[in-house]
Structure 1
């Protein structure tokens, strides 16, 4: 009987009590200082819940950030316009799309292609010949209205909440690294003379990071999983889609997103940007390997 009582006591202690009301068990923590908080102490924030001290900006027990520098769950600065970078990325994609419509020959200078095929209407050089910039420019290039429409809808729907949750610098790193990871996997696995373009790799990276963030905040995962499954069905069921970009972006986005929201506070920047650096190193190594195969 004593052993059972001890086990019950240990089980009870496994659920923390609210830092202000220790007798009230709770599974919710402040998204800024990570102290356990009960429903009475929860303050609804833009991302998750915060404790009263973090909302007021007070130091409390020393865990909360200072009032002058409010931080997101990933440690980024809270911005007045949480969708500014998303709007800029949308604007860049639309501007490039319009430029391609006005001057179609611009397309061959921007899309991703591995090596130069023997045809006069294609570029004289590809990534294998040294034009690595195509790994980036192809992320912002679209030719068909439906293509840019779907990608920009995904960017707006996923990008705004992520930008708000991560902060601008971390969000931009996530977007760019996911995009170039998708480009690098396409360069590695697709035929060398196959041209590809679009922001799909970066958008799938946002999918991966969103799933990680929702799990971290203990939100209902079913909507994002259902949407991701639908997109993957289109990825593998529709011809002329660079599935390599989608998978490369998804994996990179999930990895970077995990580092962003799970990095320990004392080494947050090192873990977050270190993960981005590892993804970039993988992109470089992949590109060098494929270049050696094609040249």
Structure 2
């Protein structure tokens, strides 16, 4: 299910939303490496709670496209690259983007509400966990027609949640809220009728 065998051109054609999201994150990362530009990009874009409290609400969105180093970017984009395609095909472009974007946005909103004013965060992890949450909803909806799906998804989500608490410098609030939001959205979007229609294609 998660074995990606497409070449680059086919991948872009089949999964345009994911391709655009990965491209945007890569471009922002490369811009961040340019002296002067990079410093301003991070200074104006990270989700710094104090600045958000002063009305800089765009940070709730821009922080989703900033990462704290190449490994941080690689981990998130690898998750999107590998686990996103099935959801984009099943949900459709707009619904998939809504899961990704709303999960990431509300994860940052929750971080702002829960964490102190001096807290700062960045990264697409809340959105990626939204994808994981949507898969949990898919497991629920397909429990009778695809019971084997839970053997793939449940361990993946469990390991991701465990790593959230084990690793340092992790925005736990964003991960858990992103997961919950993705699950809720998936419960509404991955209806049994839509799943049957997708399997018949």
Q: Same fold (TM over 0.5)?
A: yes
Is 1:223 the equivalent of 2:152?
yes
Q: Distance in 2 between matches of 1:229 and 1:165?
A: 23
**Residue 110 of structure 1 corresponds to which residue in structure 2?**
45
Is 1:245 the equivalent of 2:160?
no
**Residue 7 of structure 2 corresponds to which residue in structure 1?**
none
The Cα RMSD (Å) is: 1.9
**Residue 87 of structure 1 corresponds to which residue in structure 2?**
19
How far has the Cα of 1:264 moved from its partner? 7.8
Match of 2:53 among 120, 128, 148: 128
Matches within 5 A, 1:27-176: 81-102=13-34, 103-105=37-39, 106-115=41-50, 126-176=51-101
1:130 partner SS: coil
**Residue 259 of structure 1 corresponds to which residue in structure 2?**
188
Provide the aligned length of Structure 1 versus Structure 2.
177
Q: Distance in 2 between matches of 1:91 and 1:179?
A: 17
2:120 partner SS: coil
TM superposition score normalised by structure 2: 0.83
Is 1:204 the equivalent of 2:129?
yes
Q: Distance in 2 between matches of 1:208 and 1:109?
A: 30
Highest relative contact order (Cα 8 Å, sep 6+), 1 or 2? 2
Match of 1:185 among 101, 110, 126: 110
Q: Is the 8 A contact 1:110 1:134 kept in 2?
A: yes
Q: Is the 8 A contact 1:209 1:258 kept in 2?
A: yes
Q: Distance in 1 between matches of 2:169 and 2:155?
A: 23
TM superposition score normalised by structure 1: 0.57
**Residue 53 of structure 1 corresponds to which residue in structure 2?**
none
Q: Distance in 2 between matches of 1:101 and 1:191?
A: 29
How far has the Cα of 1:263 moved from its partner? 8.2
Q: Distance in 2 between matches of 1:163 and 1:82?
A: 9
How far has the Cα of 1:188 moved from its partner? 1.1
2:123 partner SS: coil
Consecutive unaligned residues in structure 2, runs of 5 or more: 2-11, 195-201
1:81 partner SS: helix
Q: Distance in 1 between matches of 2:174 and 2:90?
A: 25
Structure number with higher helix proportion? 2
Consecutive unaligned residues in structure 1, runs of 5 or more: 1-45, 47-79, 116-125, 266-295
How far has the Cα of 1:203 moved from its partner? 0.2
